[in-house]
Chain A
Amino acid sequence: DQQVKQNSPSLSVQEGRISILNCDYTNSMFDYFLWYKKYPAEGPTFLISISSIKDKNEDGRFTVFLNKSAKHLSLHIVPSQPGDSAVYFCAASDLNTGNQFYFGTGTSLTVIP
């Protein structure tokens, strides 16, 4: 059963507006979450992370929000730029049990100029 889910396979946003990508997880033991960006024919690149002791982490235009009670995290990109068009994966890990990372199926973001 999939432990990390990204229910929106695609998202289109106008340039300059906010992009919100969502991710849900089922395992309450997950305590570390990451977002990756992937361009076609390339490997995923790390964007931003958050540990369960926080509910928000910000890095430039990227902010990740974590709602532990809802087992939900989201990535906000403001303002969105055409170069942000890519597939975004969320991942989760239980730091106490090892170094296995569980990934969602990804959301393809298109930023329209």
Chain B
Amino acid sequence: ETGVTQTPRHLVMGMTNKKSLKCEQHLGHNAMYWYKQSAKKPLELMFVYNFKEQTENNSVPSRFSPECPNSSHLFLHLHTLQPEDSALYLCASSQTQGKPGNTIYFGEGSWLTVV
């Protein structure tokens, strides 16, 4: 079992649907992240939560809504998405910010297709 698990692994949704991506980390980390990976683009940071508090929102459209109920769980709620939002969404976690050796660990990703 990986330290960071994401569900579902694959999701197809219509533009009027509402769905959620779920992430759980089993590493005892305090920071959790959502990244988006589109083809031929660098990994784009979307949100960062540190000790359940959102510390970064990288100008993400409001149709993406994160939720972090505790340090182990992170959700990304999706509604009225556009086809260009189709991408691989990666959840990650790290121990804490600002410390040497703060390595970020990724889940396997959720492939999202918006039709």
Contacts and interface: CB of A to CB of B under 8 A. Distances in A.
- A and B from one complex: yes
Nearest to A2: B42
A44 B106 contact: yes
B4 A99 contact: no
Interface string A29-53: 0001010100001111110010100
Contacts, number: 75
B42 A43 contact: no
B42 A99 contact: no
Contacts of B41: 105
Contact of A105 (B40, B94, B99, B106): B40
B101 A98 contact: no
A95 interface: yes
Interface in A55-113: 89, 91, 93, 95-106
B104 A95 contact: no
Contacts of B31: 99
Contact of B100 (A4, A9, A44, A51): A51
Interface residues of B, number: 33
Contacts of A2: 42
Given A44-B106, A49-B103, A105-B40, A100 B98 contact: no
23 contacts: A2-B42, A4-B42, A41-B108, A42-B108, A43-B2, A43-B4, A43-B107, A44-B90, A46-B105, A97-B98, A98-B98, A99-B55, A99-B94, A99-B96, A99-B98, A99-B104, A101-B104, A102-B42, A102-B45, A103-B35, A105-B40, A105-B41, A105-B42
Given A32-B102, A45-B106, A46-B103, 13 more contacts: A4-B42, A32-B100, A34-B103, A41-B109, A41-B111, A43-B92, A44-B90, A91-B104, A95-B100, A96-B98, A99-B104, A100-B45, A102-B45
